[in-house]
Amino acid sequence: MSVSGDLPEPPLQARDLLEALTRQGVDFIVIGGLAGGAHGSTYPTYDLDVAYDPMRPNLKRLARPAKLEVRLANAPPDLPFQIDAETLESGANFTFDTPHGRFRHPRPCPRGSFLCGARDHAWQSTLEGVEVRIASIDHLIAMKRAANRTKDKLMLESTSSSPTSQRRPAGKRTASAPGRPGVPSPAAIQVA
């Protein structure tokens, strides 16, 4: 059985997307499937999901790499769509197709909370050869539970059975469990 018809084209080249974001100085954390993989999940991912600081200067930086040959995913190719700080600020969940694969950034939590505090508990790591911040396992679990999609449940299953998911980087700040200060309940997180 082939699933290639369901996969975005081209295949994900996360390194190129992460490098573009870091080169522009975008304040973001990796969430979603790549974060799950960093925590030990074996569930496959086909796009890059990031949470970002929704303040205007960061949105301007986020719009710069977005102008590098991107189009709104699942939209007609001739649909007029301008990617700039104003669009990102007024929009909700965006999914873009790029030459490097699919790139998603869901609606952030209310201004100033940067995905309900996930940034404050994220940890630095090298992902695809790029130094980035990755959502803590506790925030990732809360996001996946909030989404409650089949693929999120499967990713959680594969993460919870992995010994890597229990590891915390030495000296890095992480939250310890949902319901504790700084860790949102699934209801507090807005997802795509």
What does the pLDDT look like over 134-180, one tens digit per residue? 999 988 888 888 888 898 899 988 876 655 544 444 334 333 333 33
Please check whether residue 1 lies inside any domain of the structure: no
Contacts of 182 (CB under 8 A, 6+ apart): 117, 120, 121, 175
* Cα gap 186→192, rounded to integer Å: 13
Backbone dihedral angles phi then psi of residue 112, each to the nearest 5 degrees: 95, -15
Tokens encoding 29: 């954390």
pLDDT at 81: 82
Please check whether residue 82 lies inside any domain of the structure: yes
pLDDT at 31: 92
Q: How many domains does the chain have?
A: 1
* Cα gap 99→10, rounded to integer Å: 6
Please check whether residue 65 lies inside any domain of the structure: yes
Residue 119 lies in domain: 6-188
Percent helix, strand, coil in the chain (nearest 5)? Answer: 35, 15, 45
Banded pLDDT at 61 (limits 50, 70, 90): very high
pLDDT tens figures, 70-125 = 888 888 888 888 888 898 888 778 888 888 999 888 766 655 555 667 888 898 99
Please state the pTM of the whole predicted model: 0.77
CB atoms inside a 10 Å sphere around CB 45:
19
- Identify the residue with better confidence: 176 or 48: 48
Determine the average pLDDT of the residues in 16-22.
Answer: 93
Asked if residue 42 has pLDDT above 50, the reply is yes
Please check whether residue 95 lies inside any domain of the structure: yes
Banded pLDDT at 185 (limits 50, 70, 90): very low
Supply the CATH number for residue 11's domain. 3.30.460.40
